Amino acid sequence: MTAFIVDGEPRDERPTNTEFRIEPRTGVGFLLNEGETLRVIDPKGEQVSDLTAFDAEDPREWLSSGRTIDYANRIYMRNGDTLYSNRSNPMLKITENTVDGHDFLLTPCSQEMFKKLYGIDEPRPSCFSNLSKNLAPYGIEPDQIPTTLNIFMDVRPSSHTGELTIGPPNSRAGDYTEFTALRDLIVGLTACSAEKSNNGSFKPIDFIIKT
């Protein structure tokens, strides 16, 4: 299995123990082995990154927002939280975190979402297209892509109606969140392509796989 995909193109090796930059409005796919950690860094500030994961052996098991929210009994994930699969197995644990408020409610931005919410017709990159492109080499089809963990995204529900307000990310340049893999995973990661989630501009995301 190819260990690393950048913007749809396979690479020979994963970049381990060194920073790798995801260019604005693109994404990557890679293998993350049990015990390894993934640090996701916002290098410029106010930039969201969408994360999803699948079991490396059986991609019918995937990172589930619903199960994770059930067990955390909270909608924001923070340091020490375990992220669960659709089969209620632990997949990832947040082991370091410099900024709070990662949203796990909303789906990855998509062409259809840009049309429905913002009236944008012209084809453009989205987290959904970038995850589709970079997970396809692992045999994962677009319909399998679930709600993503929206790292650094600020989504606030009204306590009365549940209506959601999307604010600029709380992350500042250099803020990061680190995840430890609790099993062998296929991971998809993006630099988000939705203006509203990123305070109006598209910026890169950096990551480090620590072996």
194 contacts Zn ion (rule: CB under 5 A): yes
Residue 85, phi-psi category: left (phi > 0), alpha (psi -120 to 50), beta (remainder): beta
- Torsion angle, CA of 106/111/116/118, rounded to 10 degrees? 90
DSSP string, 141-204: -GGG--PPEEET-EEEE-TTT--EEEE----BTTEEEEEEESS-EEEEEE----TGGGTT----
Binding mask 121-150 for Zn ion (x = CB under 5 A): ------x-----------------------
Residue 128, both tokens: 């959904």
By beta-carbon proximity to Zn ion, the closer residue of 61 and 171 is: 171
Q: How many CA atoms lie within 13 A of 94 on its CB side?
A: 23
Q: Please count the residues of this chain forming the interface with Zn ion, following the rule CB under 5 A.
A: 4
Task: Output DSSP code: residue 83.
Answer: E
Q: Which stretch binds Zn ion (CB under 5 A): 28-36, 86-94, 112-120, 190-198?
A: 190-198
Q: Please state the closest distance from residue 202 (CB atom) to Zn ion, in A.
A: 10
40 and 189 Cβ atoms separated by less than 8 Å: yes
Of the candidate spans 25-33, 35-43, 66-74, 189-197, the one that interacts with Zn ion by CB under 5 A turns out to be 189-197
Residue 51 touches Zn ion, criterion: CB under 5 A = no
The answer to whether residue 192 forms part of the interface with Zn ion (CB under 5 A) is yes
Q: Does 5 bind Zn ion (CB under 5 A)?
A: no
Query: Judged by CB, which is closer to Zn ion: 40, or 127?
Result: 127
Nearer to Zn ion, 43 or 188 (CB): 188
Residue with tokens 């690479």: 11
Kindly state whether residue 109 participates in binding Zn ion, applying the rule CB under 5 A. Answer: yes
> Shortest distance, CB of residue 64 to Zn ion, whole angstroms?
19
Q: Give the footprint of Zn ion on this chain (CB under 5 A).
A: 109, 127, 192, 194
